[in-house]
Amino acid sequence: EFGSDEGDEDDLAIRPPVVTVMGHVDHGKTKLLDALRDANVVDKEAGGITQHIGAYQVTTEVEGQERRITFIDTPGHEAFTSMRARGAQATDIAILVVAADDGVMPQTIEALNHAKAAEVPIVVAVNKVDKPDADPTKVRGQLTEYGLIPEEYGGDAMFVDVSAKAGTNLEGLLEAVVLTADASLDLRANPEQDAQGLVIEAHLDRGRGPVATVLVQRGTLKVGDSIVAGPAYGRVRAMLDEHGDNIEEADPSRPAMVLGLNAAPGAGQNFLVVEDDRMARQIAEKREARERAAMQAKRRVRRTLEDFMASMEKGESQELNLILKGDVSGSVEALEDALSQIDVGDEVSLRVIDRGVGAITETNVDLAAASDAIIIGFNVRPQGKATEMADKEGVEIRYYSVIYQAIDEIEAALKGMLKPEYEEVSLGQAEIREIFRSSRAGNIAGCMVTSGVIRRNAKVRVLRDGAVIQDNLDLASLRREKDDVSEVREGFECGLVLRNYQDIKIDDVVEAFEMREIPRD
């Protein structure tokens, strides 16, 4: 398993938290990332951060100690979500930026939901406090309603008032990040082992070839290491940091721009150091083949979906829109979180367009009708004319009282849009060397397995001079020496009997194959 073995407790050292900045558009995410880059207090002599490599590290002083923090240099939650969609989690802590003059807005809540779904602790940066109409207290009140309760109100979220523009209280924000990490996370990694981590971004540079910014998550990456990054591979020729300086090593949580790969991997793909270049190449080629197969499978699925869509009367939408209503906010959140975990690939998507606590109302039905949504009622019933209206408008309302039942049904509905696809996988071949006639069993073929494996339960076909003369047969028996066996591998002799097929000759080839369901991911 990727990154699971970190050695002994004694080998672990504290690593800096990795932070993503999220929030509503125009609330100051970019400005804040710029300001923090300049506020890199301790590291000023290093010449400042001059390169945008996709992530940077700053050093701050907390309780007399120098502490480092890594920032992912892409504002917004797209980067965060697309990484999570790949199963990668780069972020330890989310900074939720809320403009104090504007307050909580839709994307604030979206960001909050993403961080919650990922179980990442949140530090709130209440920004733009320099503005005359700034109301930081109001922001605290609004977020409290969404379950994010400030420490000063007895909750466990740190809220810090800042001005990204004026550079006010950025140290306070950095301190809050460090304190939150210390309080709720155990961020340690073994710096001694071979490095592993994630690709933050990569591109093809005219002069330097493929360059990738990686975030080291475990171990230490060194110049000269052979690495695999997604389907790319190579030997680390040089590494640059965010100051534009060459570095020899990158320790846990350190971002570094890596030169020397043969191609640019995708953001969110993992990288790891392997024994040598040959191994790197082999693993990379396997990964590439796997990705290609997954792409092909996806293309096949897409055709199936298109057929499905065409057969639907209102066939334009590939999105299942949902409106969630529940008895308490906790159940709505739990339902939404669980729904967000359903994985049905890229072709069908599930979108929660509205959620709320209380009975299903006519307003809910209205919205559902307008946006072709299904309403999920969790421990709630409709109110007033809502049912009547839903019948008239053809809006579907489903009632549940158990979360898993709701999830199972919705998942089944989504998967129902995608019929399973199978592909044939050849297992192996055997040459018929002798034929024994048995009055009881029929013709027994004495074979030599010349490649792969022959399995008792596999499908088989008979080839003569390279052409298929009979397809899709079963084995009636498979033996080695006198014993019934489940499989016989390459280089061994066996005796086999084909079910309901006797017309075999010496030198015929029996090929075993299997139909496998193509995974959808």
Q: Which residues bind ligand GDP (CB under 6 A)?
A: 23, 25-31, 75, 127-128, 130-131, 163-165
Q: Is the dihedral of CA 271, 274, 276, 278 positive or negative?
A: negative
28 is in an annotated binding site: yes
Retrieve residue 61's tokens: 């002083």
Minimum CB distance to ligand GDP, residue 419 (Å): 42
**Beta carbon nearer to ligand GDP, 169 or 282:** 169
127 is in an annotated binding site: yes
Contact 16, 57 (CB under 8 A): yes
Q: Which helix (H) or strand (E) holds 251?
A: none
Retrieve residue 85's tokens: 């969609």
Instruction: List the one residue out of 369, 422, 419 whose CA is nearest residue 396.
Output: 369
337 is in an annotated binding site: no
Minimum CB distance to ligand GDP, residue 272 (Å): 33
∠ CA 275-200-285, nearest 5°, is 40
∠ CA 386-388-390, nearest 5°, is 65
In this structure, the number of other CB atoms found within 10 A of the CB of residue 200 comes to 24
Give per-residue burial for 396-427: e unless 16+ CB within 10 Å, then b. Answer: ebeebeebeebbeebbeebbebbeeeeeeeeb
**Beta carbon nearer to ligand GDP, 138 or 165:** 165
Q: How far is CA 86 from the centre of its chain?
A: 2
29 is in an annotated binding site: yes
Rounded distance between C-alpha atoms, residue 450 and residue 463, angstroms: 14
Minimum CB distance to ligand GDP, residue 383 (Å): 38
Minimum CB distance to ligand GDP, residue 128 (Å): 4
The SS3 of residue 381 is: coil
392 is in an annotated binding site: no
130 is in an annotated binding site: yes
Minimum CB distance to ligand GDP, residue 125 (Å): 9
25 is in an annotated binding site: yes
Minimum CB distance to ligand GDP, residue 123 (Å): 16
Minimum CB distance to ligand GDP, residue 20 (Å): 13
Rounded distance between C-alpha atoms, residue 414 and residue 61, angstroms: 50
132 is in an annotated binding site: no
459 is in an annotated binding site: no
97 is in an annotated binding site: no
Minimum CB distance to ligand GDP, residue 241 (Å): 24
**Beta carbon nearer to ligand GDP, 131 or 480:** 131
**Beta carbon nearer to ligand GDP, 130 or 431:** 130
In this structure, the number of other CB atoms found within 10 A of the CB of residue 59 comes to 16
Retrieve residue 237's tokens: 């020729």
**Beta carbon nearer to ligand GDP, 71 or 271:** 71
**Beta carbon nearer to ligand GDP, 12 or 99:** 99
∠ CA 304-310-313, nearest 5°, is 135
**Beta carbon nearer to ligand GDP, 110 or 411:** 110
343 is in an annotated binding site: no
Rounded distance between C-alpha atoms, residue 67 and residue 65, angstroms: 6
Minimum CB distance to ligand GDP, residue 140 (Å): 17
**Beta carbon nearer to ligand GDP, 165 or 208:** 165
Retrieve residue 429's tokens: 């071949």
**Beta carbon nearer to ligand GDP, 75 or 428:** 75
209 is in an annotated binding site: no
Minimum CB distance to ligand GDP, residue 33 (Å): 8
**Beta carbon nearer to ligand GDP, 29 or 114:** 29
Contact 450, 429 (CB under 8 A): yes
Retrieve residue 285's tokens: 């080629």
**Beta carbon nearer to ligand GDP, 28 or 268:** 28
Rounded distance between C-alpha atoms, residue 391 and residue 351, angstroms: 23
When CB distances to ligand GDP are compared, the closest residue is 28
DSSP per position, 45-110: GGT------SEEEEEEEETTEEEEEEEES--SHHHHHHHHHTT----SEEEEEEETTT-S-HHHHH
Mind spelling out the 3-state secondary structure of 446-496? EEEEEEEEEECCCEEEEEECCEEEEEEECEEEEEECCEECCEEECCCEEEE
129 is in an annotated binding site: yes
Minimum CB distance to ligand GDP, residue 32 (Å): 7
Rounded distance between C-alpha atoms, residue 416 and residue 410, angstroms: 10
Beta strands 65-72 and 442-455, pairing class: unpaired
> Binding site: residue ranges?
23-30, 73-77, 127-130
> What residues are designated binding site for GTP?
23-30, 73-77, 127-130
